[in-house]
Amino acid sequence: MPLSEDQLCEIFADGVRDIPALRLWLLGRTKFAGQADQCRLLDGEQMAIRPRRRWWRHWWCYVPELSRESLTKIFMVFEVGTTGERFALHFENKRQGSKFSPGQAAAYAPRARHMSLKAEYLSYTNFQTLLLAPADFRRRRAADVDRFDVLLTYDEIARFLPAFGASESD
């Protein structure tokens, strides 16, 4: 049986937390690449703010710019050890054959902006939006994919987390 989107999200979030090579690769794909080796994932701090089984999962908020509630599927805040600067990575995950709901992709950047500088989101000052998806997802959903700063394909992630390789062809 194929893994669900939520199961893949959990595997990814746990991997970023537990596998230094994955974390460095991930950060190396972002505009924060130059600080990757100095960053600490604030998973414990996220859990302290919002105690749940999954520290990363489904961070909801009302976004005035969108006039509605909206969620970030995977939310990770990092702190740069040398400066104390905090930045967030906001992830969406789309499996083979799935699509975005109306306005879903467009909501990521406004939501990330709205959440920045707020204590309940660890007062981050910078962010990027990322999409986890199979390699051919861009071809099928280019306009939505291009709303994200970074696309991480399942086959790239599978180098660190083999479960994503099996999901590439689901």
How would residue 96 be classed by pLDDT, with cut points 50, 70 and 90? confident
CA distance 102 to 99: 9
pTM: 0.94
Burial of 130 (0-12, 13-18, 19+ CB in 10 A): buried
How would residue 169 be classed by pLDDT, with cut points 50, 70 and 90? low
* Closest of 125, 117, 132, 122 to residue 41, by C-alpha: 122
10 Å Cβ neighbour count for 125?
10
Give kind and range of the element (H or E) at residue 13. helix 5-18
Provide the residue ranges of all domains of the chain, joining segments of one domain with +: 5-168
* Closest of 31, 91, 98, 30 to residue 56, by C-alpha: 91
17-45: pLDDT as tens digits: 999 999 999 999 999 999 999 999 999 99
- The CA dihedral of 77, 29, 12, 109, to the nearest 10 degrees, is 50
